Amino acid sequence: MRFEGSMVAIVTPMRDGAVDLRALKELTAWHLAEGTEGIVPCGTTGEGATLTAAERAEVVKAVLEVAKGKAAVIAGAGSNSTREAIAGVQAAKELGADGALVVTPYYNKPTQEGLYRHYLAIHEAARFPVVAYNVPSRTSVDLLPDTVARLVAAGAICGIKEATASMDRQVQLVERCGKDAIAYLSGDDFTAVPFLACGGHGVISVVANIIPRQFASMLAAARAGRFEEAFAAQVRMAALNRAMFVETSPGPVKAAVALMGKCGPELRLPLAPVSEKSLAAVREAMVQYGVPLA
């Protein structure tokens, strides 16, 4: 399965400290109806770092029950321990996901050689489609284009979620690896249209949690070469994008989904609820864009 188009980094609804699987299934069904082409559970936005292995399995299973065969499902499975990452990818494979999203190891600060060996070890152990997730702002390490090219040559990854917001980086990836060698997926809503113009195939989005149809339409326009139309849509949602990061994500977007009445605003520590000031900013941006509130 080719990973492309509008993919949502779906929030994980919670109630009284536990995962709200019913709300998650309803959210997933809504995304399918709204044109979302891929569901990415247990990522950063899904608070995968504070879910237990059993909870991650429950979340992925719930999404698959609704979305299997209708949209790509890429399960968050990364860890800063290679052994744990292998176990996570193997679990995603056993559950029936279409692929696994594997973040670069955080805190350890591996070298480029360490990063290469990390993903190669996962590939050799799991033999499953892996999308590498490069987000230096959260991990303190940067998966560089030359290393990505080595991984592509080894067949270790099928895609990369690139969250540097750098178009020069995306051009370098295409230069080193080839235009269609792997799936190039942006992890940055603010530069979604420019990313596609630079050879990207899709976006794993935060804001698509609340405007999935509009986000999918914007990407469809860009992929069809209608960049003036797509860029106008990008500009229109700029303020809404900013609101989703007024505090550490996924706090604001989870508050936004709650304002729509689709799940509760509950987060898991160490994340705290957004402040009243931030909540007001989120609500105002939603109203200005025309997002329906509950």
Please identify which residue in the block is written with the tokens 């609340």. Answer: 210
CA distance 210 to 207: 6
Q: Which of 3.30.70.3270, 3.40.309.10, 3.40.50.1370, 3.20.20.70 is the CATH number of 5-226?
A: 3.20.20.70
Tell me: is residue 147 an annotated ligand-binding position: no
Tell me: is residue 10 an annotated ligand-binding position: no
Respond yes or no: is residue 106 known to be catalytic. no
Closest to 24 (Cα-Cα) out of 48, 41, 7 = 41
Position 59 scores a pLDDT of: 98
Name the residue type at position 20.
D
Do 60 and 53 contact (CB within 8 A), yes or no?
no
Closest to 245 (Cα-Cα) out of 26, 9, 28 = 9
Do 50 and 17 contact (CB within 8 A), yes or no?
no
Q: How far is CA 10 from CA 25, 59, 94, 180, 263, in A?
A: 11, 10, 21, 26, 12
Q: Determine how β-strand 183-186 pairs with β-strand 159-162.
A: parallel
Of the residues 133, 184, 254, 289, which is catalytic?
A: 133
Per-residue pLDDT of the chain (294 residues; tens, 9 = 90+): 689 999 999 999 999 999 999 999 999 999 999 999 999 999 999 999 999 999 999 999 999 999 999 999 999 999 999 999 999 999 999 999 999 999 999 999 999 999 999 999 999 999 999 999 999 999 999 999 999 999 999 999 999 999 999 999 999 999 999 999 999 999 999 999 999 999 999 999 999 999 999 999 999 999 999 999 999 999 999 999 999 999 999 999 999 999 999 999 999 999 999 999 999 999 999 999 999 999
Do 45 and 101 contact (CB within 8 A), yes or no?
no
Respond yes or no: is residue 161 known to be catalytic. yes
CA distance 267 to 21: 15
Q: Say which DSSP state 106 is in.
A: P
